[in-house]
A and B are shown apart, each in its own frame.
Chain A
Amino acid sequence: MKELVVISGKGGTGKTSLVAAFARLAGRAALADCDVDAADLHLVVRANDREEHPFSGGKVARVIDERCTGCDRCREVCRFAAISADPYRVDPVRCEGCGLCVRLCPSEAIAFDAVVNGAWYVADTPFGPLVHARLRPAEENSGKLVTVVRNEARRLATEQGLDLVLVDGSPGIGCPVIASLAGASLALVVTEPTLSGQHDLGRVLELCRHFRLPVAVCVNKWDLNPELAGEIEREALAKGARFVQRVGYDRLFTAAQIAGDSVLDAAGARATEAIATGRRAPQTAARASSSADGAPRDEAANVISAKSATPDVATPDVATPDVAGEVRRLWQALREALDGAAADSAVR
């Protein structure tokens, strides 16, 4: 079984939109939304929840008033400033569940309760089962919940004979990201041609190297700053990315979200509409979008000027970005890399 994890470092680069498109292109796969802080994949894969499970990721201390003598020992030892006095109370948001106060209270006046701090769900989608989750607001242990979601998606994949798990990761480089990387076959890092995107990509690539995970990079919305896109691609390859691929900026991504569909569906709808209104469908060969050599792409400048003059999705005349084609090519490259990764591990 192969597992593709889509992460980004910087948020809002298009992870979830791409995963929704990959789900459609993969045919059938197990889907795991590991962005448990802000899960959105279920909004664009026509998900129907069929199971809900509580998630308990830890414990929290609670003062039992009748036993409390106000000795203050708990407040003294708490490193998280979670306990206030008169009357003694534990702030469940601040409490880290270490249990030190519970153990040290001379009157056994502190209970230590398991808390439900989230839930995870199994949904049916036309593309395979989806496992997603919701962490209760202001909770911790998102890394543990990510692990639950991934394990459940893998279990479902095995059960249903699926050879692929698609994981939508979370932004950043901290515990939920680390939890989504362990044991994956390949990571796709989605970035954008901004200084922030470049900066954050550098940190994520380093994280992947830390975990010895093969990486591919997608520069989404590349035509926002073609020069920086090229620079980012060269850097990514120098830092060991297997390949880089670009996808153009297109409001189709937003249109797809609003329709609750993938960008491929939205592209199909746009093509149909264009035919119906007698306009030409998007140009598939408007520009080359994939290259691992970082070579300059002259057509980029044309695309930019054409697009800034006609930013509206309803004018698919010259050089309308073919994001659907770009996403398809990206998926093909990922599929090949995943098969290669499988071959690598077979050799080992």
Chain B
Amino acid sequence: MSESDPGHAPLSLRVAVASGKGGTGKTTVAANLAATVVSDGLRVQLLDADVEEPNCHLFVRPTLKDSSPIEVLIPEVDEARCTLCGRCSEVCEYKAIVVLPTTVLVYNELCHSCGACALLCPEQAISEVGRAVGVLERGVAEVKGAPRGDSAGEGTHEIAFVQGRLTIGEAKPVPAVHAVAGAVDGEADVAIIDCPPGTSCPVVEAVRDSDLVVLVTEPTPFGLSDLRLAVAMVRELGQPFAVVINRADVGDDRVRRYCAEEGIPILLEIADDRRVAEAYSRGQLAIEAVPGLRQQFGALWSAVRAAADDAAGRDSAHARARATRGDTSAEASDSTPGSKAGQS
């Protein structure tokens, strides 16, 4: 494949793996997709943005090479200058700074780092200082390729790995998610982001600016209910998206019917297989445990590219941007079924 040529221009595809409901298989999809794609000779970055409970590392076992604090700004009051006028407290929408008769209290966990108190203090008695709320870790994960007839996939392959970890007791994950999203490497062919569950601010931060959001769900009433919410979220954001159904044969048909009615492509269905669950429990990649799954994830990769291209094609500005990145994926979009990414 021409893409294994290290000199090719990067695809710079950004794929976010998300879900409304937790425990549907985001991490399974993200980690196995990364391991499959890297075996094709592409440059892959795997980013774990589920900063409250990051789990990708358990499956790709990276060697972490550096760790840096994720900081937010909080106000620090210079008591010598402070006249206790109360302006800071008045302008803080989050009630994070309170002026008492003799002193000023800052509630760090309520502060959103907006800077209003510092900027509006008439005495310039407030400066902003960094406070660590988590760590950003980078490393390299080596995964095994599989013998696949051609020799391209054999040997070991390196995934560039990034994860954020929120400090326990910290309420606000968004700055940590932001730090992970900010670590996406434009030189990689694909950056795969394992998102937090849910539909609110942390997920928004993780899926923003992706070329495709892959929503992982399961065919159960809870799965469907939460998928609807996740779809509403990505539509609100105007992000192209598609669905992967995990444990595809456990429940009923309502998720498939919903996707058909809404015109949402289903890129892959992963069967409920005890071997997958057991591999997961051990922290083993499913593609290494279950024969045939690697091919399925290969097909998922083609479908992801096709869906992303299709979405980009409908957004001409985006298409131009992608063209300048030297994207060459026409062959994938021709051969892949269900390649229309759902959009609002």
Partners in one complex: yes
Closest approach, in angstroms, between the C-beta of A135 and any C-beta of chain B? Answer: 6
Chain A: minimal CB distance from B201 (Å)? 4
Instruction: Answer whether residue B75 sits at the interface, using C-beta atoms and an 8 A cutoff.
Output: no
Closest approach, in angstroms, between the C-beta of A236 and any C-beta of chain B? 16
Within 8 A of B (CB), among A298-319: 308, 311
- Count of chain A to chain B residue pairs whose CB atoms are closer than 8 Å in the complex: 185
User: Which residue of A104, A171, A195, A200 is within 8 Å of B282 (Cβ)?
Assistant: A195
Of A59, A134, A308, the contact of B274 (CB 8 Å cutoff): A308
Interface membership of A235, Cβ < 8 A: no
In the complex where A12-B21, A38-B197, A258-B252 touch, is A224 in contact with B237 (Cβ < 8 A)?
no
User: Is there contact, CB below 8 Å, between A43 and B221?
Assistant: yes
In the complex, identify which listed stretch (B147-155, B225-233, B307-315) lies at the interface while the others stay far away.
Answer: B225-233
8 Å CB interface, B189-206 against A? 196-202, 204
Taking a contact as CB atoms under 8 Å apart, the answer to whether A38 and B221 are in contact is: no
B53 touches which of A77, A104, A199 (Cβ 8 Å): A199
A interface secondary structure, majority? loop
B221 touches A103 (CB 8 A): no
Identify which of B168, B233, B274, B280 contacts A210 (C-beta below 8 A): B168
**Is A195 touching B237 in the complex (CB atoms < 8 A)?**
no
Q: Kindly report which residue of chain B lies nearest to residue A197, judged by CB atoms.
A: B281
Q: Which of B40-96 contact A (CB under 8 A)?
A: 52-53, 55, 58, 91, 93-94
Most buried by A among B24, B166, B168, B200: B200
Whether B271 is near chain A, meaning CB under 8 Å from some CB there, is no
The residues in A between 1 and 47 inclusive whose CB is less than 8 angstroms from any CB of B are 8-13, 16, 37-40, 43-44
Q: How large is the interface on A (under 10, 10 to 19, 20 to 34, 35 or more residues)?
A: 35 or more
The one of B168, B235, B274, B281 in contact with A193, judged by C-beta atoms closer than 8 angstroms, is B281
- Note all chain B residues with C-beta closer than 8 A to A311: 274
Contacts A100-B119, A103-B120, A308-B274 hold; do A173 and B53 have CB atoms under 8 A apart?
yes
Mark B207-234 against chain A: 1 for CB-CB distance below 8 A, else 0: 0000000000000111001100110110
Quick check: is B6 within 8 A (CB to CB) of the other chain? no
Cα distance A251–B113 in the bound complex, in angstroms:
46
Residues of chain A within 8 A of B197, CB atoms compared: 11, 37-38, 171-172
Contact of B280 among A97, A98, A138, A196 (CB under 8 A): A196
- For residue A275, CB closer than 8 A to chain B, the reply is no
A324 to B82: give the CA distance in the assembly, Å.
63
Do B280 and A257 touch across chains, with their CB atoms under 8 A apart?
Answer: no
Q: In whole angstroms, how far apart are the Cα atoms of A224 and B281 in the complex? A: 8
CB of A174 within 8 A of CB of B221, answer no
**Distance (whole angstroms) from the CB of B73 to the closest CB of chain A:** 8
What is the distance, in angstroms, from B126's C-beta to the closest C-beta of chain A? 13
Instruction: Check B262 for interface membership: any CB of A closer than 8 A.
Output: no
- Collect the chain A residues with CB atoms within 8 Å of residue B265's CB: none
Whether the pair B237, A103 counts as a contact (CB closer than 8 A) is no
Docked pose: A10 CA to B119 CA in angstroms: 40
Measured CA separation A254–B221 after assembly (Å): 9
On whether A142 and B22 interact (CB within 8 A), knowing A97-B93, A173-B168, A195-B281, the answer reads no
A96 within 8 A of B: yes
- Residue contact A137 to B55, C-beta cutoff 8 Å: no
**Contact residues in B for A58 (Cβ distance below 8 Å):** 93
B171 within 8 A of A: yes
Question: Across the interface, do A93 and B53 meet the contact criterion of CB distance under 8 Å?
Answer: no
Instruction: From B232, B250, B281, give the contact of A254 (CB < 8 A).
Output: B250
Pick the contact of A173: B20, B52, B113 (CB < 8 A): B52
Query: Does residue A194 face the partner (Cβ distance < 8 Å to B)?
Result: yes
Inter-chain contacts of B274 with A (CB < 8 A): 308, 311
Closest Cβ–Cβ distance, residue A150 to chain B (whole Å): 16
Contact residues in A for B201 (Cβ distance below 8 Å)? 138-140, 142
Knowing A93-B236, A103-B120, A139-B200 are in contact, say whether A38-B169 is a contact too (CB < 8 A): no
Partner of A79, one of B24, B113, B202, B225: B113
Contact across chains for B170 and A174 when beta carbons are under 8 A apart: yes
Known: A195-B283, A224-B281. A11 touches B23 (CB 8 A): yes
**Closest B residue by C-beta to A140:** B201
Instruction: Give the distance in Å from the alpha carbon of A93 to the alpha carbon of B203 in the complex.
Output: 12
**In the complex, chain A residues whose CB is within 8 Å of the CB of B225:** 38-40, 43
Give every chain A residue within 8 A of B226 (Cβ-Cβ).
38, 40
Q: Are B166 and A98 in contact (CB under 8 A)?
A: no
Which residues on the B side are within 8 Å of A170 (C-beta)?
198
Report the minimum CB–CB distance from A146 to chain B (whole Å). 11
Q: Point out the residues of chain A lying under 8 angstroms from B27, CB to CB.
A: 196
Assembly CA distance A301 to B310 (angstroms): 50
CB–CB A11/B22 < 8 A? yes
B114 pairs with A207, CB closer than 8 A: no
Chain B positions 263-287 with a Cβ under 8 Å from a chain A Cβ: 274, 277-278, 280-283
Contact of A9 among B53, B120, B280 (CB under 8 A): B53
Q: Is the CB of A200 within 8 A of B55?
A: yes
B: residues with CB less than 8 A from A are: 20-24, 27, 52-53, 55, 58, 91, 93-94, 112-116, 119-120, 166, 168-173, 196-202, 204, 220-222, 225-226, 229-230, 232-233, 235-237, 250-252, 274, 277-278, 280-283
28 contacts between A and B (CB under 8 A): A9-B53, A11-B24, A37-B20, A37-B197, A38-B22, A38-B229, A43-B222, A98-B93, A104-B120, A135-B200, A137-B200, A137-B229, A137-B232, A140-B200, A172-B197, A173-B166, A192-B281, A195-B55, A195-B282, A196-B27, A196-B280, A200-B53, A207-B169, A224-B277, A224-B278, A251-B250, A257-B222, A258-B251
Return the 9 tightest CB-CB contacts between A and B, nearest first: A11-B22, A12-B23, A98-B114, A37-B198, A137-B233, A172-B52, A195-B283, A225-B281, A171-B22
Given A99-B116, A138-B237, A140-B201, 5 extra CB contacts under 8 A: A10-B22, A43-B225, A58-B93, A79-B113, A225-B281
By a beta-carbon cutoff of 8 Å, the part of chain A in contact with chain B is: 8-13, 16, 37-40, 43-44, 58-59, 77, 79-80, 93, 96-100, 103-104, 134-135, 137-140, 142-143, 170-175, 178, 192-196, 199-200, 203, 206-207, 210, 224-225, 228, 251, 254, 257-258, 260, 308, 311
